């Protein structure tokens, strides 16, 4: 079952980055994200009601759902959507693949779990990989501040996502029901975003173009209702750190789609950067150890 959840999450979230890019334009980011989670919350709540699987949550549970909304269903996506205005969606996904490293840092700060030397080596390798990925922009004569702005926004989105992982893991340890908690969290996230839009006097209307509407429905139903629940189910089954393994594979899907639909151009430096990002994550999680043992046994 874990393998199924893992595979579904990788392919769904690997493709959502391109759908996010299709939503960019005249519609404010806060409005697009707000409607995405409003639709997702309504659909999930209706499905749970039909199945008679919508228990009443306690006040403490709703507080936890509100905290999860701020981390996982609002602020993180504000940063991710905004970053996609300055970065190809595939590169945004590569930065997001550093989420396991953010998880380890947050667990170190919050739960005093000191990282190992393997983590430090992997984190440095991954960071160098990100620098190489954007090296062509750094070296470009016409480079401007937007590349740094896009990187900063993407890093902030990844940080909020990481905090959401930890909140969700704690909620599930307290035996909060996964689907109802997710449904309410998405609703709270949508309410928070739409209130921001109203305060900023932004129009809540959305474009009626086929591209925008199809991206919105895909992100709300496939990316949110299905994608988030498969991922959070993994968090509950195997823990936040191991569940974040799948973020390492998102860029493979996202960069492939970005190359096909956004005209992303590869260089030898960007290819080396992707390899280093993957290698860094593999080092953090010990993926290299079976290979090392196999090589030692073969050589002996």
The whole-number mean pLDDT for each consecutive block of 10 residues of the chain, a chain of 300 residues, reads: 79 83 84 94 92 84 92 92 80 76 78 72 75 65 70 91 86 82 93 95 90 93 87 76 66 76 76 80 61 46
- 265: its two tokens: 């151009």
Alpha-carbon distance 14 to 257, whole Å?
9
Q: How many CB atoms lie within 10 A of CB 238?
A: 15
CA distance to 48, 95, 97, 158, 162, per residue, from 78 (Å) = 27, 15, 18, 11, 15
Using a cut of 0.85, tell me whether the model's pTM lies above it. Answer: no
Report whether 164 contacts 234 (CB < 8 A).
no
Alpha-carbon distance 157 to 8, whole Å?
22
Q: How many CB atoms lie within 10 A of CB 76?
A: 23
Q: What is the pLDDT of residues 175-222, one digit of tens each?
A: 888 788 889 999 999 999 999 999 999 999 888 899 999 999 999 999
What is the residue whose two structure tokens read 């909304």?
69
DSSP structure class, residue 221: I
């Amino acid at each position: 079952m874990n393998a199924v959840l893992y595979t579904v999450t990788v392919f769904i979230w690997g493709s959502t980055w391109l759908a996010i890019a299709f939503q960019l334009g005249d519609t404010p980011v806060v409005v697009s994200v707000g409607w995405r989670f409003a639709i997702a919350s309504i659909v999930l709540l209706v499905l749970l009601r039909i199945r008679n699987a919508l228990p009443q949550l306690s006040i403490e549970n709703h507080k936890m759902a509100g905290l999860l909304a701020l981390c996982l269903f609002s602020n993180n996506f504000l940063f991710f959507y905004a970053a996609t205005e300055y970065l190809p969606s595939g590169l945004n996904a590569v930065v997001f693949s550093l989420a396991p490293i953010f998880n380890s840092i947050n667990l170190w700060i919050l739960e005093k779990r000191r990282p190992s030397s393997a983590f430090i080596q992997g984190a440095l390798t991954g960071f160098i990989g990100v620098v190489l990925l954007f090296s062509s922009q750094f070296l470009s004569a016409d480079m401007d501040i937007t590349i740094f702005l896009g990187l900063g926004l993407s890093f902030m989105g990844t940080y909020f996502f990481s905090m959401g992982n930890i909140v969700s893991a704690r909620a599930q340890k307290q035996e909060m029901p996964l689907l109802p908690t997710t449904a309410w969290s998405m609703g709270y996230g949508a309410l928070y975003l739409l209130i921001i839009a109203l305060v900023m006097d932004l129009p809540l209307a959305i474009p009626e173009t086929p591209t925008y509407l199809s991206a919105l429905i895909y992100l709300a139903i496939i990316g949110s209702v299905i994608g988030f629940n498969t991922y959070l189910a993994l968090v509950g089954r195997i823990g936040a750190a191991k569940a974040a393994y799948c973020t390492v594979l998102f860029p493979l899907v996202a960069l492939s789609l970005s190359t096909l639909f956004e005209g992303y151009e590869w260089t030898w430096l960007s290819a080396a950067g992707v390899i280093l990002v993957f290698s860094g994550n593999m080092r953090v999680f010990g993926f290299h150890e079976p290979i090392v043992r196999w090589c030692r046994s073969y050589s002996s």
